[in-house]
Amino acid sequence: MRLLVALGGNAIKQAHEKGTTVEQFLNCEKIMKLLAQIVKMMKPEDRLVITHGNGPQAGNLMVQQEAGKDIVPPQDLDVVGAMTQGQIAYMLQQTLDNYLRELGTNIPVVGVVNRVRVRRDDPEFIGENASKPVGNFLTKAEAMQLKKKHPEYILKKVKPTGKKCWRRVVPSPDPIDNVEDEAIRKMVDAGIIVIASGGGGVPVVLDEDGHYRGIDAVIDKDLAGERLAEVVGVDVFLILTDVEKVRLNFGKPDEKEIDRMTLPEAKRYLEEGHFLAGSMGPKVKACIRFLEWGGKRAVITSLDKAIDALEGKTGTEIVKG
């Protein structure tokens, strides 16, 4: 079995936290302890690949850059993506390596600074179409205050309920392919646990000269994770988020948890608008693409239910039919 696990950036820096190094390492320890147990249960021929989000980390770094722009020049968004990709990969890599050592499992863990190609004419770059939340959750008043300070920012309500349900959003173009695909495939085939496509990968485009150039965007990590799954021939795609199960009519009186969806059902629910853009929508869309490509099984659940979900005891499972 080849398993790809996609971790949300909010799992590493939770909404109520400041995002200190200590806080983020503690969260990584919780995550990697579970993944180390999964690795321990795997057979020698099985493989694990990890990807992760970076929304909160990229948002915080941009806040730091704004505060210090008169002293140190701020970096472009693609560079911010690379910086946070390296930051999070280091924390996950070191924590998982330590847990595997404790379990007596000597498997190399490698984090890759990974580029993902997008189109320059993607609709996300047009007008107010940007949909990827970055930075902290805000109240409506905080969002409006931020908009006054930065008229160029796009701010949207990303949750249907709650006090802090607004965030800044940036373009989230559709990932086309993984630039480092061959190198990643070789490492995975060799038995290395690879952490790649972090934060959706560093977004790049091909220019008129055939050169890669970075572009201001944040690719959705689940959609980019699906492209990564294709690269390494994944069987099971496990998306870990902040809810145990996907829900229909989210935030409404008739809200309902889903235990299992077929591919046609998932497509219909997505088209009917049950899953929010920038939240559950890309996750379900990524699972649909994964199954259409040839994956066997996709599962969405909360971090603490990862093992139970793999064993079919909980979470929302999506299958072809």
Q: Active site includes 33?
A: no
Task: Summarize the chain as % helix, strand, coil (round to 5).
Answer: 40, 20, 35
Q: What are the start-end ranges of the H helices in the chain?
A: 9-12, 21-41, 55-67, 77-102, 140-149, 181-189, 221-232, 263-271, 280-293, 306-310
Q: Active site includes 18?
A: no
Cβ neighbours of residue 134 closer than 8 Å, sequence gap 6 or more: 55, 56, 58, 59, 62, 167, 168, 169, 170, 218
Q: How far is CA 104 from the centre of its chain?
A: 29
Give yes or no for a contact between 9 and 77, defined as CB atoms under 8 angstroms apart.
no
Active-site entry in 10, 114, 136, 178: 10
Q: Active site includes 233?
A: no
Q: Active site includes 9?
A: yes
Residue 52: which of 196, 217, 246 has the closest Cα? 196
Distance CA 181, CA 174 (A): 17
Question: Burial level of 192, CB count in 10 A (0-12/13-18/19+)?
Answer: middle
Active-site entry in 60, 178, 198, 221: 221
Active-site entry in 27, 201, 245, 283: 283
Active-site entry in 9, 81, 225, 278: 9
Three-class secondary structure assignment of 115-146: EEECCCCCHHHCCCCCCEEEEEEECHHHHHHH
Q: How many CB atoms lie within 10 A of CB 60?
A: 18
Copy the structure tokens of residue 172.
């989230």
Active-site entry in 27, 53, 132, 200: 132
Cβ neighbours of residue 67 closer than 8 Å, sequence gap 6 or more: none
Distance CA 126, CA 130 (A): 8
Give yes or no for a contact between 321 and 296, defined as CB atoms under 8 angstroms apart.
no
Q: Active site includes 249?
A: no
Give the residue numbers annotated as catalytic, written as ranges: 9-10, 132, 221, 283
